[in-house]
Amino acid sequence: MQTMRPIILAAFLTTAFICTNAWAFPHANIRSKDTLDAYSGRNYQEGSSAVLSISIGHGCTMSGESYSTRMVTALFPNGLDPNLGGITYTSDGTTNYEGNALFGIKPVVDYDWKEIMPMTGDVPTYYNHGAKTTDIRAVHWRGGYIPDNFAGYADVSVTFPTFQPNTCYNKIIVDIPVVQYCSADSGHQKDHMWKRDRIKTKDLHRAYAWIKEPTPMFPADTVVAPGYVASVTIVRNLTTNPLPASCGGTGQTLEIYPSAADIDAYLPPSDGKMKSSGGGGSGGGEHMH
C-alpha cells in the first residue's frame, strides 16, 4: 500500500499554539474497557460492535493559566483510500463488500455537550442495513465544559469489519486523531469545582492536537505529543477465522492513519470560533504503514 499525503493550504491563528513544555500526560485516548476478556483493553474482535469513549484527561492548561475544554473533534480513518476490500469485508449474508476500518458510526447522545455534529463523507461501499457509500468521517462535540482537573468523554458507536479468510493480516491498528479546543478560564485553584456554564466566553483560545505529526493546519506548536495518537486494534478471531497455511502461522499487523489533508479538512472548528488565515479543502486518503 502506498503512503498518500495530500496537502491543503491553511494555518492556525498563533494564539492557538502551545509550547513544547505542555502536558503530554495523560493523553487524549480511547477509554480502555473494564471487562478483561480475550479482547481486553482497546482490542476489539472482528465483526463486533462497540461504543468507543474518547477520554479527555485535562484542559489545555500551562504556565499557571487555566484553559477549560469547550470542544473536541475526532477523525475516523474510513475514507476512500485505502480500500480494505482485499483485507476485510462486510456482508449482507450473500454478497461481500469492502470492509472499512470502522463503519456505521453514530455519536452517542450526551447532554454534557450542547451540540454534537457528525460530518459525513464518501467511503468504500459497505453493508450496514443496505449497501452504502457514505459514512460519518468525523464528529465535533461542541459547547462542553471540562475544567483542567476534571476528565470528560465523547462517545461514538462503531462496528468493525471481518478479516478476509485468505489474508495474512490478523490485527489492524485504527488511529483516531483528536483535537481539543479550550477557552481561557480562571486560575488553577478554581478548577477543583465543576459548575455548569461557569465559562461565559464563546471564543476558543488554545488547541491541543493529539496527532502524530504536524500538518499545514496544525503546526508543530499545537502537537502535544509527537508520534502519539489515540487508537484501537481490531483483532482476528483465529478460532473461527484461522490464518491460511501460506502465512506460516505468523499474522501481520496493519496500521491506518488519516492523511494530513483529511486531518486539516475535518478537525478544525466548523463554527468559525477559532480564526484561520487560509481556506479549506477536500479531504484526501489515509496512509497505511
Does the structure show a pLDDT above 80 at 48?
yes
Query: Which pLDDT value is given to residue 19?
Result: 41
Mean pLDDT of 76-86: 88
| Domain total in the chain | 1
* Residue 56 placed within a domain: yes
CB neighbours (10 Å) of residue 250?
A: 8
Query: Which pLDDT value is given to residue 276?
Result: 37
- In one letter, which amino acid is 108? V
* Residue 112 placed within a domain: yes
| pLDDT tens digits for range 208-220 | 999 999 999 999 9
* Residue 288 placed within a domain: no
Query: Which pLDDT value is given to residue 191?
Result: 66
* Residue 187 placed within a domain: yes
The DSSP code sequence of 7-22 is: -----B-GGG---TTS
Report the CATH number that the domain containing residue 211 is assigned in CATH. Answer: 2.60.40.2230
| pLDDT tens digits for range 97-134 | 988 999 999 999 999 899 999 999 999 999 998 999 99
* Residue 279 placed within a domain: no
Domain extent for 36: 14-269
* Residue 125 placed within a domain: yes
* Residue 285 placed within a domain: no
* Residue 255 placed within a domain: yes
Does the structure show a pLDDT above 50 at 46?
yes
| pLDDT tens digits for range 139-165 | 999 999 888 888 999 999 999 999 999
